Amino acid sequence: SYTIDNQTTVNSLLPQLQESNITQTIVDMSSFANRYYKTVNGSDAANWLKQKWTTMASGRSDITVTQFAHTGYNQTSVILTISGTDNGSEVIVLGAHLDSINLSGNGETSHSPGADDDASGIASLTEALRVMINTGYKPRRTIKFIGYAAEEAGLLGSQDIAANFKNSAVNVVGVMQLDMTNYKGSVNDIYIYTDYTDSLQNDFVAKLAATYLPALKVGYDKCGYGCSDHASWNAKGYPASLPFEAAFNRDNPYIHTANDTYANSGNQAAHALKFARLAAAYAVELGSDGP
Ligand SMILES: N[C@H](Cc1ccc(I)cc1)C(=O)NO
Ligand SMILES: [Zn+2]
Ligand SMILES: [Zn+2]
């Protein structure tokens, strides 16, 4: 059952998350010409994220960063693992995808900055991670931050990883996906998507928002298909949620083009900061549960 019983820890973390750090990660990540899953740039972007998270984790012996290799393309996924203290067999996953796409073409020199789709999700997660590390937070459960390869090719990276975890009987008790967090296309701040997700966990996510982000307005919607990596986990029977930037068809119109830039997300990361805070609350509340 989902209980909210870590107010002291979460309320000490939330004010430390900063919009400027999210901006920096989006700008840095969207400066690769492309992050297409089959190009050299696409592989370089994965290696860049691995290095970034490794640097952040230095000094923490309970944190490891690995690259998950996939078959048929060189871009890896990146997995950061914070080992749980006394309930490490139970695993929480927070994910976003590190690849990008331009529907007009994806050659080595093609342009797909993917600032919103999905550098924003990576940036939101990275800022939550930074504060969790900075405050010396140690979860009882294991927490994994995952940058997925090849989401745009059909959820390929997350499909491999979810299958691998299922085959190894990893006890994943919750998954949150952040895919597009920085374009405020609708009246509400956070939209919880109700298809290909877990309704009980969705209720918990709404409760987290009401408890820790009371000024924010929460809406609900459906994609109508497996619209991001949460669907790979859902398909394997793991509980997943997708807090998303806008209502259906009110999302960022620039995605999958050369114009999915930080500027076209409004030159701000205040919207993405909401999702970073939600991710931090989710990670700490679920990560702090004992056996
Ligand atoms: N299809 C998704 C983006 C996407 C997700 C939800 C909605 I509503 C609209 C668009 C994608 O491109 N993920 O990378
Ligand atoms: Zn996309
Ligand atoms: Zn995406």
271 is catalytic: no
* Active-site annotation holder among 70, 97, 111, 271: 97
* pLDDT at residue number 56: 98
* pLDDT at residue number 1: 76
Write down how long the chain is: 291
* pLDDT at residue number 7: 98
Of 98, 228, 241, the one to substitute when testing ligand 1's pocket (max ligand atoms within 8 A of C-beta) is 228
C-alpha 256 to ligand 3 mean position (Å): 9
Specify the long-range contacts of residues 236-239, CB closer than 8 Å, at least 24 apart: 236/162, 236/163, 236/165, 236/166, 237/166, 238/93, 238/162, 238/165, 238/166, 238/172, 238/174, 238/175, 239/173, 239/174, 239/175, 239/198, 239/200, 239/201
Distance, in Å, from the CA atom of 277 to the CA atom of 125, rounded to the nearest integer, reads: 9
**What is the per-residue DSSP string for 45-109?**
HHHHHHHHHHHHHTT-TTEEEEEE--SSSSPPEEEEEE--SSEEEEEEEEEEE-----TT---TT
For the segment 112-169, what is each residue's pLDDT rounded down to a tens digit?
A: 999 999 999 999 999 999 999 999 999 999 999 999 999 999 999 999 999 999 999 9
The answer to whether 181 and 120 have CB atoms below 8 angstroms apart is yes
Question: In what side-by-side order are the strands of the sheet with 190-193?
Answer: 218-221, 190-193, 243-244
* pLDDT at residue number 61: 98
* pLDDT at residue number 115: 99
Among the atoms of ligand 1, which is closest to the Cα of residue 117?
14
Q: Tell me the sheet residues that pair with 220.
A: 192
ipTM over 0.90: yes
Q: Which residues of the chain have pLDDT under 70?
A: none
Of 156, 180, 191, 221, the one to substitute when testing ligand 1's pocket (max ligand atoms within 8 A of C-beta) is 180
Among the atoms of ligand 1, which is closest to the Cα of residue 118?
14
